[in-house]
Structure 1
């Protein structure tokens, strides 16, 4: 079994030509924009950096470029670094440790860590389930603190609900870690509206991390309204649907060995062709604004509300720079209507995960 966690301020509009190798914006003397994660969570830069791809599930990665990308993100003002203790079997947390140790002190002090836990793995790297027992929560936390080289984690969350453990018990254990000073805020991942409500009855929840993009809009029916009712923010992963709607994924692209997208329904056969037809339609909208497809897709997520913080899974500095450029894209009513026409809700072909992983998503039940 495999599993994946992947990872809009009011800005001035501009027309821009996409540079294939742009550099991240230089730090500005102006205060960086912020979005607060719910009513109890921290204020963060409007985009977070999802670090999973630097260690797992997309084939080989370049360690030096990964570190440089984290540093470039911090230099640009990004504050939220998202990881999971099971990304690369701990590799990702160690990578973030090194990136923060070698970053300027000012950037390091502003960095916030968001960590998912709970996945159980085999020696070969397969996934066998999730463990949300209170004792397991404390055990996972101890190892993460050691690997990250920090005395606390800013947002801690179970990656998937353990069906054998009431969410109240898992959240209660994290709440004890908050009281002890080892965790600052409690988060959740891929839970449905009812579970969200149950969890919030135990302790304040800062944010829900969940997939949200132009082609993954399931949260709009019940989950997003419930989160807003409860004062819980959203950190949106998969905003480019694992590169599918980035504008960089071609119809004849061969995936590298170890790239999990080879098993993703949306990247298979006719599904891929139909989904890339949507991207072609979106490309026309983006071209009319002089911006890239990826920037348009990210700007759309940013436009959904100030309580939503997209996570961009950039593994390279040029992709990071492109993503940051989305903050300068303003979408007016006409733009949003054109995007809706190009990519209507529910138009994607294929589920967002293989069936075995869909079964683990409380958000889908």
Structure 2
């Protein structure tokens, strides 16, 4: 099913960026989901993805840190660079402190570092990975705008930003895409963030569209994870006190997938694809078979009734545990100071 599927192209945002309608999240190749995977295998996967038509590749300096960008830098040699739309991110310090920075000097240094590791002259889409609540977003955007004018980045994005932050940023320089977590069981962004993006003509990039793998394998996924995998000890929805209730969501998705003649991951991914032509999901994987399955999701057709039924399985009060621990820096905490009261130190 998968490899007979043509991956369509889509306009991401209204500034001219065109990407594959399915992207590839590269984080798990190098970080957070267990030990780094063998480099030759990951380069083979990346080349396979590009050949299959999935050309929108997502990374960050924070993944590793640095090692994921270095991996992509190797994979993109030999003429591959011109075939892909490369997205990376800055903003979370890579010294182990997990501090968020948006001051101009940090922005510029981070961009130069990413260009060097990726071995490219420009970055197609450069996101602020998390919002620095100490620095007005206008100040951060001013430096990003300069990087666009210098040709070092083509388009600007935000990740996990609140509606008000998106509006303020967009007033300085058009935002091309907002990256956010969106899936059957993570729908809080639909209230304010998605409508704001659509009003402003900003593309939507959905990360973790498979619920960090839970909507692919359910509770049994936990048994296969290494002790270093952050899902085992960090993300609330995977913890024992929440797992059994959440497992019921997967079982219902799985039953519907069986009826539809697809896999549960294809069904969950198709739900995201059906949200609109301005939405690009970027599921991550480290296996070619899983990648091919994800491509196959583009062929799964859902009726409005199918969509409603799927959504009923994972209503907000049915999902146990938050997307992140309460202490994490997510969009709910991304307000920045007003410009007049800010002074550089």
Pair in the same fold by TM > 0.5 = yes
Deviation at 1:26, TM superposition (A): 6.7
More helix by share: 2
Partner of 2:322: 351
- Residue of 84, 98, 107 corresponding to 1:111: 84
Shift of the alpha carbon at 1:251?
A: 6.6
RMSD: 1.7
Written as runs of structure 1 = structure 2, the 5 A alignment for 1:337-348 is 337-348=308-319
**What secondary structure, in the 3-state scheme, does the structure 2 residue paired with 1:266 have?**
helix
The answer as to whether partners of 1:85 and 1:115 remain within 8 angstroms in 2 is yes
In the superposition, the TM-score normalised over structure 2's length comes to 0.92
Q: Decide whether the 8 Å contact of 2:213 with 2:221 is kept in 1.
A: no
Superposition deviation, residue 362 in structure 1:
2.7
TM-aligned CA deviation for residue 342 of structure 1: 2.4
- Residue in structure 2 matched with residue 84 of structure 1 by the alignment: 60
What residue is the counterpart of 1:7 in the other structure? none
Aligned residues: 332
Query: After the TM superposition, which residues 149-188 of structure 1 pair with which residues of structure 2 at under 5 Å, given as runs?
Result: 149-188=119-158
d(CA) in 2 for partners of 1:249 and 1:116? Answer: 31
- Per-residue CA deviation, residues 265-313 of structure 1 (Å, 9 max, x unaligned), is 0001131111111000111111101100000000000000110000010
- Which of residues 8, 26, 30 in structure 2 aligns to 1:51? 26
Matches within 5 A, 1:107-146: 107-122=80-95, 126-146=96-116
**Aligned counterpart, 2:190:** 220
Question: Aligned partners of 2:101 and 2:168: how far apart in 1?
Answer: 18
Alpha-carbon distance in 2 for matches of 1:235, 1:41:
15
How far 1:363 moved relative to its partner? 3.7
- Structure 2 contact 218–251 (Cα < 8 Å) conserved: no
**Deviation sequence 1:130-159 (CA, Å, 0-9, x none):** 111011111001111010010000011111
Q: Does 1:278 align with 2:253?
A: no
- Between the two structures, name the one with larger relative contact order (CA 8 Å, sep ≥ 6): 1
SS of structure 2 residue aligned to 1:210: strand
Q: TM-score, normalised by structure 1?
A: 0.87
Superposed CA offset, 1:210-268 (max 9, x none): 10000000111011001100010100001011111113651761531211112210001
Judged with a 3 Å threshold, the aligned counterparts in structure 2 of structure 1 residues 131 and 209 are, in CA distance, closer, same or farther, namely same
Q: Hey, what's the Cα distance between the residues in 2 that align with 1:26 and 1:284?
A: 25
Give the secondary-structure state (helix, strand or coil) at the position aligned to 1:86.
coil
Are 1:294 and 2:270 an aligned pair?
Answer: no
Cα 1:26–1:337 change in 2 (3 A) is: closer
Equivalent residues of 2:24, 2:56 under 8 A apart: yes
Give CA-to-partner distance per residue, 1:3-49, whole Å, 9 cap, x none: xxxxxxxxxxxxx6xxxxxxx62796xxx511211111411111111
CA contact (8 A) 1:41 1:207 kept: no
Question: CA separation in 1, counterparts of 2:188 and 2:284?
Answer: 21
Rounded to whole Å, the distance in 2 between the matches of 1:248 and 1:268 is: 13
Residues in 1 aligned to 2:325 and 2:16: alpha-carbon distance in whole angstroms: 32
2:198 is the alignment partner of 1:198? no
Mapped to 2, the partners of 1:346 and 1:111 lie a distance apart of 40
Q: Indicate conservation of the 8 Å contact 1:240/1:297, yes or no.
A: yes
Please list every run of 5 or more consecutive structure 1 residues that lacks an aligned counterpart in the other structure.
Answer: 1-15, 17-23
